[in-house]
Amino acid sequence: MRCQLEILSGELDLRALLVKWQRVLRLQDWDVSARIASQQEVGVGANASCNVNRALHHATIRIVSERDFGVPEFPEWRTYDPEVLLVHELLHIPADAFAPGPVDKLRAELYEQFIETLAHTLIELSRGPSYRDMLVARSQEVGFGNGKAHNEAAQGVTEERVR
Ligand SMILES: [Zn+2]
């Protein structure tokens, strides 16, 4: 497994997180690079990005810096949590073969929701149930409309826990 990282954010140990989650997600045979990047590098309207090259088994992940964090359309994303962003982007690697095209907007949205829910579920399994409680509290803070994505993510996590 190869990991290439630039750590630009003081206490953030992105290398350790990448090693951990590549192992959990069985992506050790992928050459993954991840780094903190500017909003311009990540792209307009996104907090992170992942470019996947399936032929070369190479992926490049960019996570927006804390300074640039926050997407106007999703005010419920208040807390900068690079581990969640990293896990979400890593999930795009095995899911890339099933990614809908840009024209199919409904499938693209459902695909993103699935990846986001799975990322939150994995983070909860790693950090414990208090993570889900925090998600639920945060979505209630922002109200149903704006907190819809998180409510759905939290609901998915809750349902997963009771099974
Ligand atoms: Zn995504």
Q: Which residues of 91-120 are buried (b: 16+ CB within 10 A; e: fewer)?
A: bbbeeeeeeeeeeeeeeeeebeeebbbbbb
CA of 91 to the centre of ligand 1 (A): 8
Q: Can you give the residue range of the structural domain that contains 83?
A: 2-162
Q: What CATH number does residue 121 fall under?
A: 3.40.390
Upper half-sphere CA count for residue 30 (Cβ side, 13 Å): 27
CA of 141 to the centre of ligand 1 (A): 24
- Residue whose tokens read 């099933």: 98
* Per-residue pLDDT band at 4 (split at 50, 70, 90): very low
- Segment 15-55, tens digit of pLDDT: 999 999 999 999 999 999 999 999 999 998 889 999 999 99
* Local structure of 2: helix, strand or coil: strand
Cα–Cα distances in angstroms (integers) from residue 136 to residues 83, 130, 141, 158, in the given order = 18, 10, 9, 9
pTM of the entire structure?
A: 0.78
